[in-house]
Amino acid sequence: MDSEKSGTVLQSSHLVHPITILFWLVVCFSSALAGYTPLAVFSGFVFVLSLCALLWGRLSLRGVRYELTVPRSGLFPGQSVTLTRTIYNGKLLPLLWLELFEPCDPDGPAVPDSGLIVPTPDFSSYDSLEAPAEEPPGDRWRCLYSFSLLKWHQALTFSDAWQAQRRGIHRIREVTVRSGDGFSLSAISRTLRLGATRQIVVYPRLTDVSVDAILNDIWDSRSASRGHLEDVTLLKSVRDYTARDPARRINQRLLARGGGLKVNQYEVVTPSDVLFILDAASFRGQVGEPFELALSILGSLITGLSRRGIHVGLLAPRSVYAPQTCIEPSSNEMELLRMLELLAGVSQDNPPLKAARSDYPVPERLGQAYYVTYSESAATSLQILAHFPPHKAQLLTFLATESSADSQALRARAITEFWRV
């Protein structure tokens, strides 16, 4: 079990208040001394009942631990994942009833197929037994699971399916458990923090796109002289030196052996790497659809190019889930899923991209760089493209292209042109 206690609050009836319990004890002894046997028996019964209820309520959640397993965190809208939970009662006192409240938003990225979604319980009127480690999350809704009769030293394991309904990341950092005595006179609530945050990542919805235009851009860059690179680690052959050859190409080993002036010829490589640069801040103030559609097309382009064997990378802004991150161009499946996860976590409220030179690959080694923005005039980090050769940089705008002094005469096309409606 990987849960730890964060805070505990107690809700009790006036019947089990310590002052009330003391009152019934005094009445019991007074009645017995005065010879009022029926009243003494009754007050003694109420005293024992109230005291047992109070102690049972306070001790009911002691030794209770919780574990949550999310076997598959990455989903596309419409897919489902099974969450498995285990609750362990590690004491001799049984639990006649138990309630589990888990964070859940009916309009969030994922919702349970089963379970009851209820407003977050208000425990503010409870008596605080322990100060919480930090303020509880301000989620408005919880998913309620109810159980009865959890025996001593018994582990209860149950599962349910959660359905992915929109792009985003659903995180579960802590849960709230509630139990009490069998008479419902005393209830206790405790927040259990998970050892590690569990999350359900819902990727952008994939749509039908055409990657032919991007493949054509790569071929165009190959046909330009500046689109070729020589890999100095791959020696192709040697030839006689001419006056136009630079001195650094001279084969020093052959020269030392008396072989004369020879120059190295290296293998020529044509970079086919593609880097997408997402300017999420440029969509700020736009109602959801443009941003979600742009992310859907972008995610589909990344997936489609990766499936075609093209090395694809992504520069994503800082979000509440991750710092500003650049995924180096690759065709690795894990890197593809990482890029989709970054797209799942971005928001229109993210800060603009930083233009640090170390944040993206060497421009000369890229086939094409695509800067995704709402419009040319709304772009917030165009300075990033200053390091890229003009024939290797292009704007992908949501709005139709327009003239802009800040666009540095870069080529531009609407990202919706890739979309097959």
Q: Which CATH number goes with the domain that contains 100?
A: 2.60.40.10
Domain shared by 162 and 243, yes or no: no
Could you please report the per-residue DSSP string of 23-51?
A: HHHHHHHHHHHHT-HHHHHHHHHHHHHHH
Question: What pLDDT, on the 0 to 100 scale, is given for residue 223?
Answer: 47
Domain shared by 298 and 357, yes or no: yes
Question: What pLDDT, on the 0 to 100 scale, is given for residue 245?
Answer: 79
Domain shared by 402 and 284, yes or no: yes
Give dist(CA 154, CA 156) in Å, integer. Answer: 7
In a domain, 158, yes or no: yes
Tokens of 412: 């531009």
Domain shared by 33 and 135, yes or no: no
Q: What is the DSSP letter of 248?
A: G
In a domain, 256, yes or no: yes
In a domain, 116, yes or no: yes
Domain count for the chain, please give it: 4
Q: Domain range for residue 289?
A: 212-216+271-418
Single residue among 58, 74, 93 that ends a domain in this structure = 58
CA 383 to chain CA centroid, nearest Å = 29
Domain shared by 394 and 303, yes or no: yes
Question: What pLDDT, on the 0 to 100 scale, is given for residue 36?
Answer: 86
H/E element holding 296?
helix 289-307
CB–CB of 111/165 below 8 Å? yes
SS in 3 state form for 150-183?
A: ECCCEEEEEEEEEEECCCEEEEEEEEEEEEECCC
Q: What is the DSSP letter of 331?
A: -
CB–CB of 386/408 below 8 Å? yes
- Beta strands 411-414 and 393-397 are parallel
Domain shared by 37 and 95, yes or no: no
Domain shared by 81 and 150, yes or no: yes
pTM over 0.85: no
Question: What pLDDT, on the 0 to 100 scale, is given for residue 38?
Answer: 87
Domain shared by 337 and 374, yes or no: yes
- Residue 382 three-state SS: helix
In a domain, 4, yes or no: no
Can you give the pLDDT of all 421 residues of the chain as single tens digits?
566 665 565 566 667 777 887 887 888 888 888 888 888 888 888 888 888 888 888 888 888 999 999 887 789 999 999 999 999 998 888 888 899 999 888 888 999 987 687 777 765 555 555 544 444 445 678 888 888 888 988 999 999 899 999 999 999 999 989 888 877 788 888 888 888 889 999 999 999 998 888 877 776 655 444 444 455 555 667 788 787 778 777 888 777 777 788 888 765 454 578 999 999 999 998 877 899 999 999 999 999 998 888 889 999 999 999 999 989 888 888 999 999 999 999 999 999 998 765 666 666 667 788 999 999 889 998 888 888 888 888 999 998 765 444 445 678 899 998 887 6
Torsion sign over Cα 366, 372, 373, 377:
positive
Residues 6+ apart with CB under 8 A from 378: 282, 283
Domain shared by 185 and 117, yes or no: yes
Question: What pLDDT, on the 0 to 100 scale, is given for residue 409?
Answer: 65
Domain shared by 388 and 319, yes or no: yes
